[in-house]
Amino acid sequence: MNVLGIETSCDETSVAIVRDGREILSNIISSQADLHALYGGVVPEIASRRHVEAINPSVEQALSQAGLGWDGLDAVAVTNRPGLVGALLVGVAAAKSIAFARNLPIVGVHHLEGHIFANTLAHPSLEMPFLCLIVSGGHTDIVVVRGYGKYERLGRTRDDASGEAFDKVARLLELPYPGGPNVQKLAETGNPSAFPFPRADLDGSLDFSFSGLKTAVLRLLQKEPDANRADVAASFQSAVVDVLVAKTIRAAEQTGLMTIAMGGGVASNGPLREAMKSAGDGLGIGVFWPPPVLCTDNAAMIASAGYHRLSTLGPDPLTIDTMATAVL
């Protein structure tokens, strides 16, 4: 079954075709990052307009790269929640038009399901149940994935998401948007022990808080304007990684689950991957992550999650709506 996936929840227009939930035939990603870099973050109205321009060419490219015509498609999956409503609407309108014109089933996918199922897409042998750390620009969640549609959230951020913290600290360090990869790069030459930034434990809870950390970086830069930027980046990154690893490992110990998967843009962070892997190795816990292109927003993960949704829950009506917020 060939599923056409569409993702437009934020600042990437992406269209992919995935066979049977695991074989990527095409995965076109048109990033708007350069457009938003000017403003230091995503401007919703600009995002919607750019999606409108990019969606049709992206669908055509996805078909041609997969070597398929319209007849080669069996279903359409689209991110319809959560995200910027104006941005989501573009993808959902395109998906509905294709489904209606070609008489294909349509499924609305939760964006975070996409980030979770990027792992099974990348590692077909990965078996449920597993623990998933979702770390993106909008979310930082620890979720037990028991099966498709069977999720239990054990922890979430109480304020900023981890990716948001990377982006805000990048701004303080005068690094361009998107901040995460640039902070990681600058941190490579810095000393992670230079500044003892706070690691919020929240009384042993599996929830996260990154706003105090962001404020600590701000205060330091106000007090010591000449502080070594690479040392600040490395010390900040190390504080984020320490907390993400400690809480995810704690969740594994509490649930007895021996497999940890990671998804979302921050899961492409090298030091996070290394630290999670070495903590897991010490306890016999398997640690998985998708390649970077499947960590950040992409439609292949949506097509894959859509395939599983279609197989377990069946199609949605053509009247599906967009939602700015939605629980998993």
Interface with ligand KG4 by CB under 6 A: which residues? 10, 136-138, 163, 166-167, 178-181, 184, 264-266, 268-269, 296-297
How far apart CA 321 and CA 308 sit, in angstroms, is: 20
Considering the complex, state which of residue 297 and residue 316 has its C-beta at the smaller distance from ligand KG4. Answer: 297
- Smallest distance, Å, CB 213 to ligand KG4? 14
212 burial level (CB within 10 Å; 0-12, 13-18, 19+): middle
Considering the complex, state which of residue 231 and residue 297 has its C-beta at the smaller distance from Zn ion. Answer: 297
Stretch that binds Zn ion, among 136-144, 167-175, 214-222, 310-318 (CB under 5 A): 136-144
- Smallest distance, Å, CB 204 to ligand KG4? 26
Question: Quick check: 136 binds Zn ion (CB under 5 A)?
Answer: yes
Considering the complex, state which of residue 19 and residue 115 has its C-beta at the smaller distance from ligand KG4. Answer: 115
Decide which of Zn ion, ligand KG4, none touches 231; Cβ closer than 5 to 8 Å per partner kind: none
Give ∠ CA 109-111-114 in degrees, rounded to 5.
80
Residue 157's φ and ψ, nearest 5 degrees, are -80, 145
Positions 288 through 307 that interact with Zn ion (CB under 5 A)? 297
- Smallest distance, Å, CB 256 to ligand KG4? 28
Considering the complex, state which of residue 155 and residue 179 has its C-beta at the smaller distance from ligand KG4. Answer: 179
- Smallest distance, Å, CB 140 to Zn ion? 12
- Smallest distance, Å, CB 118 to ligand KG4? 9
Question: Quick check: 7 binds Zn ion (CB under 5 A)?
Answer: no
Residues that bind Zn ion (CB under 5 A): 136, 297
